[in-house]
């Protein structure tokens, strides 16, 4: 198998972005782009971390209950976590 040759010198510690051709707004791979694109807004970040938090609570409470899910505080916590996921998603969608 033949090695791929790059048109310019590439350091050993490179990341994925450096293997892609230069963009129009960059003079070299080492420079930052002139214009940054914001990937995620506040709503997307809120939904992401809200879901991570309450999904973790739901999974951990569900695993803690095991087969004994007849009732009690863990079942209440588990159901509340699932409800909080739905409320967070509804609030984020209503905000758009």
pLDDT in tens, 70-81: 778 888 999 999
Q: Residue 58 falls within a domain, yes or no?
A: yes
Q: Can you give the residue range of the structural domain that contains 48?
A: 42-95
Q: Residue 64 falls within a domain, yes or no?
A: yes
| Predicted TM-score of the model (pTM) | 0.56
Residue ranges of E strands in the chain: none
Number of structural domains (the chain) is 1
Q: Residue 27 falls within a domain, yes or no?
A: no
User: Measured between alpha carbons, how far is 34 from 27 in angstroms, rounded to an integer?
Assistant: 10
28, two tokens: 């070299």
Q: Residue 70 falls within a domain, yes or no?
A: yes
User: Measured between alpha carbons, how far is 44 from 36 in angstroms, rounded to an integer?
Assistant: 18
In this model, does residue 49 exceed pLDDT 80?
yes
Q: Residue 15 falls within a domain, yes or no?
A: no
| Residue 5 neighbours by CB under 8 Å, 6+ apart | none
Q: Residue 36 falls within a domain, yes or no?
A: no
Q: Which of 14-18, 44-48, 63-67, 86-90 has the lowest mean pLDDT?
A: 14-18
55, two tokens: 């999904």
């Amino acid at each position: 198998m033949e090695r791929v040759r790059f048109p310019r010198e590439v350091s050993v510690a490179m990341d994925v972005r450096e293997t892609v051709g230069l963009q129009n707004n960059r003079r070299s791979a080492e420079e930052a782009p002139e214009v940054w694109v914001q990937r995620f807004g506040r709503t997307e970040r809120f939904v992401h971390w809200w879901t991570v938090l309450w999904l973790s609570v739901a999974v951990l409470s569900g695993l803690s209950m095991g087969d004994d899910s007849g009732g009690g505080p863990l079942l209440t916590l588990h159901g509340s976590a699932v409800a909080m996921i739905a409320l967070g998603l509804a609030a984020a969608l209503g905000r758009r």
